[in-house]
Amino acid sequence: MTKFPRFLAAALAASALLCGAYAAPETPGKTAAATGSVAPELDVVTWPQGKPTKLADYKGKKFVVLFFWTISEQGTKFFPEVARLSKEFEKKDVAFLGIGIDSAKSISEFMRLKELPFPVAADDRLNSVNLYMRERDRIPMAAVINKEGVLVWRGSPAVLEAALNEIISGKYDLKQNIERELFSQSVMDAMKIRDYPTVLKLLNTELVTYPDNMELISLKTRLLATLLNKPDEALEFLDENIKRDPKNLKLHEMGVIVLRDEQRWSDLTKWFDRIIQTFADQPIMLVKFAQQEMNQPVEQLRLENAYKLCRAAYNAPKFKNDREKGFVIGEYARSLYYCGRPDKALEVAKEAMVLLKGTPEFEKAKSYVIYYNKVLVISRQIQ
């Protein structure tokens, strides 16, 4: 079972303020219900799909999931996932209800409505949305109500399955979740007024209790590197965490992002040297870093890093099988070509083609051999 991330609400709250996301308009005088309180009855008139339903009908019988959505690409993004979950959890006493925030006519005429295998209400006046949607929430959103009629969870449909599994199994800690929500709200309140020192203080307090929580580590790194403009402190913070957990890939990836954003190319090269040393036995991982480098815009492309990463992967002590080795060697050939050595690229690409014989990647490997050969022939003809 995947553990539902405790601090995801805080991460999403900060991300929403930094990056923007769709929020339903607020109605003056409406206050969203608090987590842990009795779930408010739905305030809707029209049900474009299914029979009119009241939450009271489920009390003492079933858990209820409210799925809030809107007619847009983002608003319907989780239709397939929510439909799947509704069918899977039906046998576990979970009922799903959809709340669309568009007009009843628009919803009833929406071609994808039938994808949702449960009743759907129209809430274009936002009477129900504003009873459930807090300031930091974004549509699409899900809310979970337990059998006692208590609102126990709200969040993105992306993590709904993990939350449901915890709630139904009895492993969900409502008190702890309320504490996390209070923390998240405090972070967002401080972010709104750009009180970044307070945000940092809040994060540091939480990190004392949860030092290995990656959501908190990521938030603090981004806060230091961007909003507080202290990239050196961000890197020092990552260094401290890497010393405790040297094989944590996400920590190394954060460092790459900070250094690239700051265009500190010499430091980035040193950072990659450490990655090569740490993950020398994981050639696929090294190649993925190299691919990211080779996909950078020309002005940010550092071929020396891509080459070193690919060469280290090529010289890895062992590979899972010939297919993995062939893939790695193929990428090494690509880095050699990028570095202006089509002759070496051709030589290495032939190795990859032999190793990939009989695999789905063979034809592609063969095409690279042909391509590098053509480039080599043409380059020798140029005076």
CATH number of the domain at 339, please.
Answer: 1.25.40
Looking at 122, 150, 172, which one is the last position of a domain?
Answer: 172
**What does the pLDDT look like over 352-380, one tens digit per residue?**
999 999 999 999 999 999 999 999 999 99
154/287 same-domain check: no
Looking at 172, 204, 229, which one is the last position of a domain?
Answer: 172
pLDDT more than 70, % of the chain: 92
Domain assignment present for 255? no
Distance CA 272, CA 290 (A): 10
Q: Please state the rounded mean pLDDT for residues 90-95.
A: 94
According to the model, what pLDDT value does residue 200 have? 96
**What does the pLDDT look like over 254-286, one tens digit per residue?**
999 999 999 999 999 999 999 999 999 999 999
Amino acid letter, 275: I
DSSP secondary structure letter of residue 42: P
List the CATH number of the domain containing 60.
Answer: 3.40.30.10
Q: How confident is the model at residue 12 (pLDDT cuts 50, 70, 90)?
A: very low
How far is C-alpha 92 from the chain's CA centre? Answer: 28
Please indicate whether residue 21 or residue 24 has the higher confidence score (pLDDT): 24
Distance CA 73, CA 84 (A): 19
Domain assignment present for 183? no
The Cα-based distances of 32 to 128, 132, 206, 285 in angstroms read 9, 5, 26, 45
**What does the pLDDT look like over 177-231, one tens digit per residue?**
888 888 888 998 899 899 999 999 999 999 998 999 999 999 999 999 999 999 9
45/158 same-domain check: yes
Amino acid letter, 204: N
The Cα-based distances of 235 to 21, 200, 271 in angstroms read 28, 15, 10
19/136 same-domain check: yes
43/166 same-domain check: yes
Distance CA 310, CA 120 (A): 52
Domain assignment present for 87? yes
How far is C-alpha 166 from the chain's CA centre? Answer: 20
Domain assignment present for 142? yes
Domain assignment present for 285? yes
According to the model, what pLDDT value does residue 15 have? 46
Domain assignment present for 345? yes
Contact 287, 272 (CB under 8 A): no
155/286 same-domain check: no
According to the model, what pLDDT value does residue 10 have? 46
Please indicate whether residue 60 or residue 10 has the higher confidence score (pLDDT): 60
Q: Is the pLDDT of residue 17 over 80?
A: no
36/164 same-domain check: yes
127/20 same-domain check: yes
| Tokens 């990056």 sit on residue | 19
According to the model, what pLDDT value does residue 68 have? 97
165/278 same-domain check: no
User: For the packed helices 249-261 and 283-294, what is the interaxial angle rounded to 10 degrees?
Assistant: 20
- As a whole number, the mean pLDDT across the chain is 91
Q: Which domain holds residue 42?
A: 8-172
**What does the pLDDT look like over 118-139, one tens digit per residue?**
999 999 999 999 999 988 789 9
According to the model, what pLDDT value does residue 61 have? 95
According to the model, what pLDDT value does residue 16 have? 45
Q: How confident is the model at residue 23 (pLDDT cuts 50, 70, 90)?
A: low
Pairing of strands 120-122, 94-100: parallel
163/276 same-domain check: no
Q: Is the pLDDT of residue 18 over 50?
A: no
Q: Please state the rounded mean pLDDT for residues 54-62.
A: 95
157/45 same-domain check: yes
Q: Is the pLDDT of residue 326 over 50?
A: yes
Number of domains in the chain: 2
Domain assignment present for 192? no
According to the model, what pLDDT value does residue 299 have? 85
165/298 same-domain check: no
Q: Is the pLDDT of residue 153 over 80?
A: yes
Domain assignment present for 363? yes
For the ranges 160-164, 258-262, 298-302, the lowest mean pLDDT is seen at: 298-302
Looking at 137, 153, 172, which one is the last position of a domain?
Answer: 172
Q: Return the C-alpha torsion angle 144, 145, 147, 150, nearest 10.
A: 140
Pairing of strands 141-145, 151-155: antiparallel
Contact 137, 8 (CB under 8 A): no
Q: Is the pLDDT of residue 238 over 70?
A: yes
pLDDT more than 90, % of the chain: 83
Q: How confident is the model at residue 3 (pLDDT cuts 50, 70, 90)?
A: very low
According to the model, what pLDDT value does residue 19 have? 40
**What does the pLDDT look like over 30-52, one tens digit per residue?**
688 999 999 999 999 999 999 99
The Cα-based distances of 339 to 290, 328, 336, 350, 378 in angstroms read 13, 17, 5, 18, 17
